[in-house]
């Protein structure tokens, strides 16, 4: 069996009630739920939350909420892996066996069912523990700068100053959409950002994680652009 777990705690501070705030005409979490269901990859799609209102919204859009996440797994410092471990252990208590488990973020309104399915394919095609969404950095990270204590600019890698941009190695970052993993890898706590993972490449224009108000505004403009391109407006 295959399981989708959508973590969605109620205590978002930078964007209050972020997971159920309206985005594109529906609660933000609804986009992830609907993509998971449309992918046809899963025997169960559940939301792991500590919040009754989020639970009710999730159920309205077709997800299961088989438990309320405990308080000790719902603070600002709880990582993704412990939340997925808790979900697997809670649902396996009756003998249910999951071969693959996908963590799908509630803050990924541009996630596509086909990409979720492609992630499963990449995982099963390899001997890796995980497959997760990545995209390219739009600018060479070797040219990144920082501000020192005096407010002056310094390069992180000054030795790269004279290297042509086309000669610099491409770099990728987590696209913040989904993480497919083999159940035992989740339960062992195997690190995701490691050689235990294979990438699922996404184009930059489909990637926008939403953590801050600025992220939200950018995502809204992206949504409007997609709607315009598809003739919906």
Reported CATH class of domain 2-135+173-229: alpha beta
Phi, psi of 185 (to 5 degrees): -65, -45
User: When comparing pLDDT for 116 and 96, which is higher?
Assistant: 116
Whole-angstrom Cα distance, residue 97 to residue 89? 10
pLDDT per residue over 155-193, tens digit each? 999 999 999 999 999 999 999 999 999 999 999 999 999
Domain ranges of the chain: 2-135+173-229
DSSP code of 69?
Answer: P
pLDDT of residue 233: 55
pTM value is: 0.94
Q: Quote the tokens at residue 144.
A: 């990144």
pLDDT per residue over 121-147, tens digit each? 999 999 999 999 999 999 999 999 999
- Cβ partners under 8 Å of residue 231, min gap 6: none
Whole-angstrom Cα distance, residue 51 to residue 224? 30
CA angle 139, 141, 143 (to 5 degrees): 85
Whole-angstrom Cα distance, residue 86 to residue 70? 9
Q: What is the mean pLDDT of the chain?
A: 95
Instruction: Report yes or no: 7 and 80 within 8 Å, Cβ to Cβ.
Output: yes
């Amino acid at each position: 069996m295959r399981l989708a777990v959508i973590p969605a705690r109620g205590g978002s501070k930078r964007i209050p009630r972020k997971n159920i705030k309206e985005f594109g005409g529906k609660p933000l979490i609804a986009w992830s739920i609907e993509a998971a269901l449309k992918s046809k990859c899963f025997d169960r799609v559940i939301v792991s939350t500590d919040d009754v209102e989020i639970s009710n919204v999730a159920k309205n859009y077709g997800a299961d909420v088989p438990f309320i996440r405990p308080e000790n797994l719902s603070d600002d410092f709880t990582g993704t892996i412990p939340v997925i471990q808790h979900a697997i252990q809670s649902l396996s208590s009756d003998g249910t066996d999951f071969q693959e488990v996908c963590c799908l973020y509630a803050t990924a309104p541009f996630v596509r069912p086909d990409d979720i399915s492609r992630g499963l394919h990449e995982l099963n095609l390899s001997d890796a523990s995980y497959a997760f969404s990545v995209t390219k950095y739009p600018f060479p990270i070797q040219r990144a700068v920082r501000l020192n204590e005096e407010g002056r600019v310094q390069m992180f890698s000054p030795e790269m100053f004279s290297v042509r941009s086309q000669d610099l190695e491409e770099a990728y970052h987590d696209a913040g959409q989904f993480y497919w993993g083999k159940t035992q890898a989740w339960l062992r706590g195997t690190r995701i950002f490691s050689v235990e993972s294979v990438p699922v490449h996404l184009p930059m224009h489909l990637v926008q994680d939403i953590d801050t108000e600025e992220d939200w505004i950018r995502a809204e403009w992206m949504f409007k652009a997609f709607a315009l391109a598809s003739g919906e407006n």
